[in-house]
A and B are shown apart, each in its own frame.
Chain A
């Protein structure tokens, strides 16, 4: 028995991905004769993944970085999985948030999808989460490309599964633009492989230092293509065009996972490769950090400005995501201890708050069928829980103390001062004001506004099922908890950032 546990423990970096892939293939099989087993099965996959994550986190904290060689092939040839502090941080974020979204989805999907496709949704969902986890821990360029494509296809799948006009169109737009993104990344991988002869991140990083002297143009083109690819995938400002349609038309749980996790995973991969693989000397040739800072601040500004004019609540949240991914890139661009801490911490914090906001928007749509912001007047009295949770999320977005948004904004602000770039502190403050402009009217109108319309024409409100209210409450509690006691997450993030 103990030997079996030891064997399983030794393989946990691979098994965590395999679990999701295996269960995602089981769901369509089960769909044929035991339809109502699919949802518990998907939850079971997440619980197993949580156990593996806990195990990996414990191992990383006690013995240091965990390295796993696929099929026992040693690194320069085989595929390597590396779990370090940063990867543990992402693993915790992904598994916890996606489990909560999945619990919400089990009830919400019955309302949004046709019966026929409901269990297929779990297949795509598990595939997406598995691909994201693979992307987090892989240490190999080509493996990264494959996981990126799996994630892109599954993400397009969970948008298009609703099969109405907007979803199919948004999904196609996303598919084509993400094909451009992965195409650029693959070309950049080819260019790096040309000059280094390695696909492994660690070996490529070593080989790139002498290669930069010999073939600087090759590496610069690779860096440019690579940045363009990841910026399309992460939806930074000028290349964000696919995001608003995709995130607003999809079913609410899909919107939550796409906005909360999927765009972050590309920001994370970009951060990891930029700082770990590309040699430090390249930054003296091109001012890539300054470019990232400019794109990030444009993204923060325009994301918020576009969000103000939206009428649809989910579309507004989608534009707000563009602004928030700007914060993560701002942290990358500052490239100092405090800035990176803020940026990386914002990955976790924003995953909590944006998935919470999308889920509460989903709950409003589930109970009342309202999507327009100006029809939400007076809804707070009828749905106190959902609007309460929404208010917590709105406050976290603005960055009011005691919510977790404050902590990451504080670290980003400290980072701008450390870097001697107070202009970007102004950007952060301006964006907080803009956030107030579009989030607070909704909250104020919902609680203090008088509902419009004649008497007897009242909005009918369905009861919110327990499976939908519990994830919302846990997420809201998380937002408050990590705002008041940020210590635990900060320890992890600071150790993760210290690696660079």
Chain B
């Protein structure tokens, strides 16, 4: 397959491509950064990528929200993923809030939010 073909295919599935790139960025940030706040941001980017992916599975090109008007012929998008992701966002918000609360507690105990620094303090204690 030619490079242009691949590029065209990827362009056709833009949303999936972008969400995968975002997922990897989030995952990488979460696992490699030692700053705990950055870890939480990475977690949020990862969650958002999944939400984008899930919502775009329900999207139909040219479709509108499924509010049915009698007599009007239209294509509708699949509303189910959108409704599910609403719940997903709520879950992600609560996980973030809990993680931030824990980080505040850790800051009170150690005076830093760097995971490696905390490891160092713990090993010298």
Binding site for B on A (CB under 8 A): 142, 145-146, 149, 152-153, 156-157, 160, 163, 165, 168-169, 171-172, 175-176, 179-180, 183, 186-187, 189-190, 193-194, 199
Contact = CB atoms under 8 A, between A and B. Distances in A.
Given A172-B36, A176-B39, A193-B54, A163 B88 contact: no
A183 B110 contact: no
Nearest to B106: A168
B87 A146 contact: yes
Interface of B: 23, 27, 30-31, 36, 39-40, 43, 46-47, 50, 53-54, 57, 80-81, 84, 87-88, 91, 94-95, 98-99, 102-103, 105-106, 109-110, 118, 122
Contact of A190 (B43, B46, B53, B87): B53
B99 A176 contact: yes
A171 B53 contact: no
A165 B23 contact: no
A396 to B, nearest CB: 34
Contacts of A153: 94-95, 98
A304 B97 CA distance: 36
Contact of B57 (A146, A157, A183, A193): A193
B98 A168 contact: no
Given A183-B50, A190-B81, 7 more contacts: A145-B88, A153-B94, A160-B105, A163-B105, A172-B103, A183-B46, A194-B57
B54 A175 contact: no
8 contacts: A142-B84, A153-B95, A160-B105, A165-B110, A168-B106, A169-B106, A172-B99, A176-B43
Contacts of A165: 106, 109-110, 122
Nearest to A148: B91
A397 to B, nearest CB: 30
A163 B105 CA distance: 8
Nearest to A163: B105
Contacts of A189: 54
Given A153-B98, A163-B105, A183 B91 contact: no
B30 A190 contact: no
Contacts of B122: 165
B109 A149 contact: no
A149 B46 CA distance: 15
Contacts of A152: 95
Contacts of B36: 172
Contact of A172 (B53, B81, B88, B102): B102
B105 A186 contact: no
B41 to A, nearest CB: 12
A146 B90 CA distance: 10
A189 B95 CA distance: 19
A149 B95 contact: yes
Majority secondary structure of chain A interface residues (helix, strand, loop or mixed): helix
A160 B54 contact: no
A199 B80 CA distance: 10
A77 to B, nearest CB: 9
Given A153-B98, A186-B50, A187-B53, A142 B87 contact: yes
B98 A156 contact: yes
Nearest to B96: A179
Given A142-B84, A183-B46, A190-B53, A175 B98 contact: yes
Nearest to B104: A168
Nearest to B103: A172
A160 B98 CA distance: 10
Contacts of A149: 91, 95
A189 B87 CA distance: 14
A145 B110 CA distance: 34
Given A142-B84, A169-B118, A187 B50 contact: yes
Contacts of B47: 179, 183
A169 B110 CA distance: 10
Contacts of B50: 183, 186-187, 190
Point out which of A142, A186, A193 has the most chain B C-beta atoms below 10 A from its C-beta.
A186
Nearest to B81: A193
B119 to A, nearest CB: 9
Q: Which of A153, A165, A190 has its CB near the most chain B CB atoms (within 10 A)?
A: A190
A168 B99 contact: no
Given A186-B54, A190-B53, A193-B54, A168 B95 contact: no
Contacts of A193: 54, 57, 81
Contacts of B81: 190, 193
Contact of A179 (B23, B43, B110): B43
Contacts of A168: 102, 105-106, 109
Contacts of A199: 80, 84
A165 B23 CA distance: 31
Nearest to A189: B54
Contacts of A163: 105
Nearest to A170: B102
A193 B30 CA distance: 26
A484 B56 CA distance: 56
Given A156-B98, A187-B23, A194-B57, A176 B30 contact: yes
Contacts of B103: 172
A146 B84 CA distance: 10
Nearest to A160: B102
